[in-house]
Each structure stands twice: as structure tokens, then as C-alpha cells.
A = this chain, B = another copy of it.
Amino acid sequence: MMILRRAFASRASPPSHGVHVFQCPDSVGIVARLSECIASRGGNIHGVDVFVPENNRVFYSRSEFVFDPSRWPRDVMDKDFLTLSKFFNAEKSVVRVPATDPKYKIAILASKQEHCLVDLLYGWQEGKLPVNIRCVISNHARAPNTHVIRFLERHGIPYHYLPTTSGNKREAEILELVEDTDFLVLARYMQILSGRFLERYRKDIINIHHGLLPSFKGGKPAKQAYEAGVKLIGATSHFITEELDAGPIIEQMVERVSHRENLQSFVRKSENLEKQCLAQAIKSYCELRVLPYESKKTVVF
């Protein structure tokens, strides 16, 4: 009891903040075991979010905790959670200590439209996007001294121009370039990645669609929306699956439009939503808030 009650005040090192997500078959006592594991190392849970779908005996949780790194070394933490993971036959168990763990490594794929790419680069520069950008890949040519190219050069981020044709999507080269990334971001990349690419890459790919899916799948969604006379337009960030624009949705945002808008203002509003929606989705993903569930859904804690 004395141990349990010893406050952080007496510790040598400042407390660290950790996040843990867990997915396993539902059973009794999972949170108890998780929090016991954390407490046994002197850690303190600051929040647990649990989700068990109604007709599906799967347990999803996300826990935030504060701990003393000198008392709970990072490798021990990994082992502790691995033990738990085995005990509960977990499908997924990820722990992160954002302040000290390496950042997620990503690659960004873009085409002609730059608004999402630029917004991600700015967000990254300002420290809002906690990732390590390994490279930017584009199938659209850019002059050497354009704003984006200069930005990338200044920050030492490689830029690869891989023009695609209907016969050659350059997927093998892309795969090689993104091999060591943790996930991919399609910032308005106007090419469909093949099932083969998805199989080989195997990690998550986050896309932004400038329509409120499942409305307006495919090309020119802003134009489709404009012609349908909608009063609300939106953007959707989702995981890529083989079926076009049908992967699990992570985030959606909308904005009101009126009869005064023309196609250009629809596009402008769409683009503004896309930027925010994609940035939010990536942020949630990096904070371990996003878990796919069932075939087409996501838990977003």
C-alpha cells in the first residue's frame, strides 16, 4: 500500500506519457488486467476508452497513462504489453510513448493539385503533424524552383517525379521508395493503386476524397455535387481498399453551400475541407485513435 500511494514527487525523472491500444476477443477483466499491469510498474492511468460493438464480441480499448521511464524502461514496457497481448489472444496491441518513440515514417503521394500536400508540409513544419516525411512522390511534373520543390529541398525531403501512363503505374518503384514507411498518405494522388500494390505494401494507406462518401465516388466529385444542387458539400478521409472510394471512413467534414456558389467556389470550399479532413485523420491515426472494425468501419477514439 505504501508503494501504491507513493506520489510522483519523489521520483528522479519527469513523468512520461504513454498510449496503448488493444484489440482482442471480448472477455471479463481486460481493463483490470491492463491497469494492473500499468500500476504494477508505478504508472497511472489517465483515461481508458473501451468499445465493444453490439453484435460482435470484440474488445477495443485505448488507454493513456503517465509513467516514470526510469522505473519502467521502454523495452520492459514492450514485454509487459506483449505478455498481456498473448494472454488475451490480442489481434492488435500497440504502445507508444510519443515524446521519445521514433515518429511514424510516411511518404506522401500527390498529383497536380497541391493544396493538401502544401497543407501537410506546413503542418509538419509547425510541428502539428508528428511524422517523419521520408519522401514525396508525384506523377505530375513540377518546375525545379516552384514553392513545393524549394520547400522540400530546404528541409532535405526527397522528391520523386514518377510520371504514370495507363500501362505503367510505376508501382514497383513506388513500393521500393516507401518500403520503410509506416503508412502512406495520398494527398490527392489521382491514380488508383492496384490490388497487387496493396497486397505488397500491406500497411495502411490514408486517402482524401473531395466528396461526402458514399456520394460522388470516382472523378470530379465537386462537379457531381454542384450539378446535384446539394446544400452541403463535404470531404472524406478513408483507408484505401481495393474497391474504389469504399474503404473504411476515418473522418468527414461538411460545409454549407448556396445557390450563389459556382463550380469554382464549390471546388475551393471542397479543397479547404479536404485539407482539414486529411490532417485530422492523420493526426488521429498517429495518436492511435483509429482502429478499423468490421469490413467497412472504423473506431475513432
CA–CA, A15 and B8, complex, Å: 38
Q: Tell me whether chain A's interface is mostly helix, strand or loop, or mixed.
A: mixed
A101 within 8 A of B: no
Contacts of A52 in B (CB 8 A): 44, 46
Instruction: Tell which of B35, B228, B293 touches A214, judged by Cβ atoms closer than 8 Å.
Output: B228
Question: Which residues between 246 and 301 of chain A lie within 8 Å of chain B, taking CB atoms?
Answer: 248-254, 258-260, 262, 293-294, 296-300
A260 to B48, CA, bound (A): 15
| In the bound complex, CA of A113 to CA of B300 (Å) | 32
The listed residue (B6, B8, B29, B215) touching A215 by CB distance below 8 A is B215
Given known contacts A5-B27, A27-B4, A254-B232, is B296 in contact with A54 (CB within 8 Å)? no
CB pair A31 B27 closer than 8 Å: no
A53, closest chain B residue (CB): B259
Question: Chain B contacts of A135 at CB under 8 A?
Answer: none
A157 at the interface (CB under 8 A from B): no
Contact B32 A39 (CB under 8 A): yes
Q: Which residues of B contact A50 (CB under 8 A)?
A: 45-48
* Residues B28 and A298 in contact, CB atoms below 8 Å apart: no
Answer whether residue A192 sits at the interface, using C-beta atoms and an 8 A cutoff.
no
Cα A87 to Cα B66 with chains together (Å): 22
Given A35-B32, A212-B215, A259-B299, A45–B45 Cβ distance below 8 Å? no
Q: Give complex CA distance A253, B255 in Å.
A: 10
Question: Is the C-beta of A7 less than 8 angstroms from some C-beta in chain B?
Answer: yes
**A48 and B47 contact, CB distance less than 8 A:** yes
> How many residues on the A side are at the interface (Cβ–Cβ under 8 A)?
66
Interface residues of A in 17-65 (CB under 8 A from B): 26-36, 38-40, 42-54, 57
Chain B residues closer than 8 Å to A231, beta-carbon distance = 249-252, 300
A229 at interface (Cβ–Cβ under 8 A)? yes
Residue of B30, B39, B253 touching A31 (CB-CB under 8 A): B39
A144 to chain B, nearest CB (A): 20
B28 touches A4 (CB 8 A): yes
Closest beta carbon of chain B to A267's beta carbon, Å: 14
Among A87, A232, A234, the one with the most B-chain Cβ atoms within 10 Å of its Cβ is: A232
Q: List 9 tightest A-B contacts by C-beta distance, closest first.
A: A229-B297, A32-B39, A29-B39, A31-B45, A32-B35, A215-B215, A48-B48, A4-B29, A5-B27
- Other A-B contacts than A5-B28, A32-B45, 7 sampled, CB-CB below 8 A, are A4-B33, A29-B39, A30-B44, A32-B36, A227-B296, A229-B298, A259-B297
- A interface residues (Cβ-Cβ under 8 A, vs B): 1, 3-8, 26-36, 38-40, 42-54, 57, 87, 212-216, 227-232, 234, 248-254, 258-260, 262, 293-294, 296-300
